[in-house]
Structure 1
Amino acid sequence: MRVVLRYLLYGLLWSGFDLRQSTADYRTTVTSTSYGRVKGVVVGDGSERLYKYTGIPFAKPPTGELRFKPPQPPEAWNTTLDATTTPPDCPQYIPSELQQILHIRMNLSEDCLYLNVYTPSVADGAMSLPVMVWIYGGAFVGGSSSTYDGSTLARKGVVVVTLNYRIDALGFLSTEDDALPGNYGLLDQISALRWTQKNVGSFGGDPGRVTLFGESAGACSVSLLSVSPLAKGLFHRAIIQSGSLLTPWAVTYPSTSVAPRKLAELIGAKVNCTLEDSTQFVACLRGVKFMDLLDASTEVQEVQPFRMVLLPRIERTFGVIPDLPRKLLALGGFEHIDTIRGFNNNEAVALKQNLSAWMTKDEFKNVIKSKLARFTFRDLDGVVRLFEDVYLGHISDPALTLEQASAALTDFSFAAPTLIEAKMASEISPDRKHYVYDYNYRSSISDLPPWATAQHADEVPFVFGSFALPLWRGVHAPSQEDVRVSEQLMTLWTNFAKTGDPTVTTPAGAVEWRPSSSSQPRMLMINKVSELTGSGRQEAVELYGKLLPLIETSPVGVVVGK
């Protein structure tokens, strides 16, 4: 349970936090969209003026007969829509322990397909700003657009859009056929991007300069949409933070030990829906209360070899991911966009929360085995020995063994897939710019062991310049160094959104960031003083390069598609 809580905490699943103050103290503003007029609020004056619109629908409520269907365009409205209140979060299971810790006020509804817009300008013909569309993380089972206040980032001269999408069973349950193909969450993201193309001009944004960015499951989503035929042309740059289409948990692979249809059967059985005929099964599920369905989903997932089991999948019904992600990448994925992609130096250090300050060799093997248990490797012990050879060698010190276990899991789930994706992208699209980073900054509130710097999601509050709950977990204000690193990160990200080149040239903190290529790999080590280095972790890349073909094939060596 503590592993799940840790990932919920560091996956930023604080649903229900109202990030807005009362609108009574704000001026209001009205903007026209293709569906009708929307009322937002105006905050600040002069160069600090910002327009906020929260809770704009980009699709019909996916309720009733629209549950388990692709999102439909919203109905137009005749009156002015109030876009000054926090929209509901998509249904998700939040453990009671976490609710008590964070005093969460939950506001969950299937009517959740809304987005928020933060802009320093409205359409007055004076300017057309680059757009940054954020996809939240949360293991594809949790998250909320309203967790991420885009105000500070927007003041850097961009329009920020944050969107909700269906998650958990409502977003990714599948019977592996046309009755319930899955991928509804990804279809929601695509629908929000289409809305952005059609309407962001009314908020001062340039639909021809859209950067899609996200973290963790959101990063995997960004990466997958970058090679999806359904999303082509909807965005022009991508920032991929701690995730990749090659990550072992980005999609359900053929070697996954529990197939999506079996999961659907197990979940359905808990709510008295029998999976014999898929169409009848889906009709039964549409009559189940969403919290009952989520409770059933959680019960089933918690007893699986690995928590993240309801994922995007390869399917040809909708065609969001019509083939293996690596194949889509090899066929020309990323050829139409520039990218930033990277990872945090110690993504998996949360492992320490479940063990003492040391680890035996047997414990190391058990940790690796548990990580690999989601896949049906023919020779699991042989795969574990590969990890031992790379990460332990002749190490016998239990403290170093713990560090190496954290490194192994960081590399397997984040670093190696990212570096392989970067190399493939630069080979396939040498005319595009592909930047790579390793986030290495230890914040002033870090409670990590001395050997660690940045774990999963540590960079997110710095990207948004948000040093308040829920993003900032500290009991005190950020240090001057925290603020400076945040300014650096926001400038890198927004420079990239504006021009495709993230390099910072201000005298206060110049950072030269040159793109990586297959002939000259480069990686920016982001820290108090950021430095450009060669690409590292070569042994990890080679190991994952051996494992990925095994993950991509079924136990009998046959790749399964639809």
Structure 2
Amino acid sequence: MASTLWLVLCLCPLTLTMAGPTVTSSWGTVEGVVKTSPEGRKYNAYLGIPYALPPIGDLRFKKSQPKQGPSGIFRASAFGPACPQLGSEAQDEDCLTINVFTPTLTSTVKRSVMVWIHGGGFQAGSAVKYDPWKMVTEGDVVVVTLQYRLNVLGFLSTGNAILPGNYGLWDMKLALQWVQDNIEDYGGNSSQVTLFGESAGSKAGSYLFLSTKTKGLFQKVIMQSGSATGYFSFRNNPREVAVALGKRVKCGSDTPGVDLPDKGLLDCFQNMSVSTLVQNSIPNLGLAYYSADFTWSPVVDHDFVIDNPRFMIHDPAHLERVGFYDLDLMVGVNNQEGGYMVKMASRYGQIHNISALTTIRTQSYYKTKLIPLILGRLCGKFDKSSVDVIMNGYVAKDYPQTKLLTLYDVMNTQSDASIVAPSVEMANAHGRLTNRGKTYFYLFDHFPSFLANYSGLRGMVHARDLMYSFGISAADVLSSYHSNVSQEEYHLSSTFVAIYTNFAKRSDPNPAVKGQLGRDWPQYDVTNQYFLSLSTKMAVRSHVYPKRVSTWLDALPKADRHCMARSDTGSPDVIVG
């Protein structure tokens, strides 16, 4: 399934490079390169810096350990390999590297720092796909991109101390500590750090936001299409998944019908080749799983993640402990997040020679496959009546059973449960205290005109917004399906970048949009739920998709005690929408 990932486009411009400047920090001496953006602006890049010891041998499935630089000069002229995953890109288990991008112009004032966490469903992706030239050259910020362990190597867990899981999150924490220790020497301000990420990178950012282990390592967070509270952002049955993997790779007990003890699983997995582990990491569980679920996710380890994130964000005492209310937060979603589900279903249909796009629109599939999958991941146990609660949120009660559902109703059901409603839920948690950290919300409510002939899905499909935040010139790599890019689209890309960089520098995105809006973009609060409708024709509106969001945040928990959030007293507490 991870070969599905995918949607993340290579956003690295075809740029010229030349010998670059040298930086000496506590890590060591690093020689970077000078790059030239597609718009002819120069910027510095320090690539492939190893921030951790290779997570191999006894360090496989362990917390990452810091690595000091060499005694001589480290030549940082090329990205490091991707972390192991399904796919054909260059990869290696020794993959824990970061990349630092800075403006070439010197400044007496330390610049704000933005740390990017790439997406890929926690299964795939790499930092090499992202070159933040536009943010660096237009926004005048320092940008750091990082790599973290993925897939089975990043998130395998038996739910106990033998294989606790969350190794990818520990990698991110160590990379953030590297930033604290070294970024001042690259011209960055270590007390002005913004986390930002998309999809799994956004989910990871919210996990970092909720953990006691990362307090003080950043001051702001931008969540772009994902939250830790989404249904496949969290795994509540990790040992079951680990045992199933053990059976696929022949880590078996000598006694028929008896599972191998957890220590035996660890020994077997640690001594197995990476390729065997990764190639067997994804089970073949059918169309619904292939198109709407992911195997490897963060888990409760009682260390980095102390509880289900859906419970943590409704626990004010925990939120105070981690400093949640004092950080600034921007949350964003796209108007067609579920488009990636259509891509995945289409790919499944091609592989298995079936009409998958028709199948996912049948009421039988929707009611007996998709919704139960989502509820099972979100709530664990659930009442059968909950299926009808969700169905009624999207499909009219008198809708003929023999008539196919609209593709958009199916897409929205999946995307609301995984991205949109959880993002609103996170913004609600943060926006409850308006006198503390700032909260902003946007809906990227746009249809990229230059993708008019691509896939037939009108709107900002999941991950399409990356072309705007990383520079729309990167769309040149998509020349097979886009037409000429208009000046309006280029301007929207610059506006999007300015929103992010102004938030990183001043905790206020308004300078980027006030001229077009003719008014302020107000902060988000639980009562009004103001958001920016981001497009070539911007507007401020209130409550994102209220009926759809309410289905998940209000109707479902009221109808099913299994789907409630737990309060800090341990008693059930209905999620506030």
TM-score (norm 1): 0.86
User: Residue type of the partner of 2:357?
Assistant: L
Counterpart mapping for 1:321-360 below 5 A: 321-329=305-313, 330-331=315-316, 332=319, 334-352=324-342, 353=346, 354-356=356-358, 359-360=361-362
Q: Give the distance between the partners of 1:63 and 1:84, measured in 2 at CA.
A: 24
User: Residue type of the partner of 1:181?
Assistant: P
Paired positions, count: 531
Q: Structure 1 residue 337: deviation in Å?
A: 0.7
Q: Is the 8 A contact 1:242 1:343 kept in 2?
A: yes
- Deviation string, structure 1 residues 228-256 (Cα, Å, up to 9, x no partner): 00011100000001111221112113xxx
- Provide structure 1 residue ranges, at least 5 long, that are not aligned to the other structure: 100-105, 254-258
> Match for 1:57 among 38, 50, 65?
50
Q: Give the distance between the partners of 1:372 and 1:195, measured in 2 at CA.
A: 39
Which residue is 2:196 aligned to? 213
Indicate whether 1:77 and 2:65 are aligned. Answer: no
Indicate whether 1:294 and 2:278 are aligned. Answer: yes
Which residue is 1:313 aligned to? 299
SS at match of 1:268: helix
Indicate whether 1:153 and 2:135 are aligned. Answer: yes
Q: Is the 8 A contact 2:521 2:540 kept in 1?
A: yes
Q: Is the 8 A contact 2:27 2:182 kept in 1?
A: no
Which residue is 1:407 aligned to? 412
User: Residue type of the partner of 2:274?
Assistant: F
- Provide structure 2 residue ranges, at least 5 long, that are not aligned to the other structure: 253-258, 347-355, 573-577
> Match for 2:431 among 426, 435, 443?
426
Indicate whether 1:223 and 2:209 are aligned. Answer: no
Q: Structure 1 residue 537: deviation in Å?
A: 2.3
Q: Give the distance between the partners of 1:400 and 1:502, measured in 2 at CA.
A: 39
Q: Give the distance between the partners of 1:544 and 1:251, measured in 2 at CA.
A: 17
Q: Structure 1 residue 298: deviation in Å?
A: 2.2
- Compared CA separation, residues 59 and 487, structure 1 to 2 (3 A): same
SS at match of 1:427: coil
> Match for 2:421 among 412, 416, 422?
416
Q: Structure 1 residue 551: deviation in Å?
A: 4.4
Which residue is 2:491 aligned to? 484
Which residue is 1:203 aligned to? 186
Q: Structure 1 residue 491: deviation in Å?
A: 0.5
Q: Structure 1 residue 358: deviation in Å?
A: 9.7
Q: Give the distance between the partners of 1:279 and 1:37, measured in 2 at CA.
A: 41
Which residue is 1:43 aligned to? 35
Q: Give the distance between the partners of 1:376 and 1:529, measured in 2 at CA.
A: 39
Q: Give the distance between the partners of 1:164 and 1:358, measured in 2 at CA.
A: 34
User: Residue type of the partner of 1:270?
Assistant: R
- Deviation string, structure 1 residues 424-455 (Cα, Å, up to 9, x no partner): 21114642110011111111214467773111
Q: Give the distance between the partners of 1:9 and 1:22, measured in 2 at CA.
A: 27
Identity %: 30
Q: Structure 1 residue 461: deviation in Å?
A: 1.3
Q: Is the 8 A contact 2:149 2:167 kept in 1?
A: yes
User: Residue type of the partner of 1:324?
Assistant: N
SS at match of 2:431: helix
Q: Structure 1 residue 378: deviation in Å?
A: 4.9
Deviation larger for 387-396 or 544-553? 544-553
> Match for 1:386 among 386, 389, 395?
389
Q: Is the 8 A contact 2:50 2:96 kept in 1?
A: yes
- Deviation string, structure 1 residues 525-562 (Cα, Å, up to 9, x no partner): 111111111113222333212546624789xx999xxx
- Compared CA separation, residues 245 and 18, structure 1 to 2 (3 A): closer
Q: Is the 8 A contact 1:438 1:523 kept in 2?
A: yes
Q: Structure 1 residue 404: deviation in Å?
A: 1.9
Q: Is the 8 A contact 1:461 1:471 kept in 2?
A: no
Indicate whether 1:464 and 2:475 are aligned. Answer: no
Which residue is 1:109 aligned to? 92
Q: Give the distance between the partners of 2:300 and 2:338, measured in 1 at CA.
A: 27
> Match for 1:139 among 108, 117, 121?
121
User: Residue type of the partner of 1:52?
Assistant: A
SS at match of 2:293: coil
Q: Structure 1 residue 221: deviation in Å?
A: 0.5
- Compared CA separation, residues 396 and 547, structure 1 to 2 (3 A): closer
- Compared CA separation, residues 160 and 558, structure 1 to 2 (3 A): same
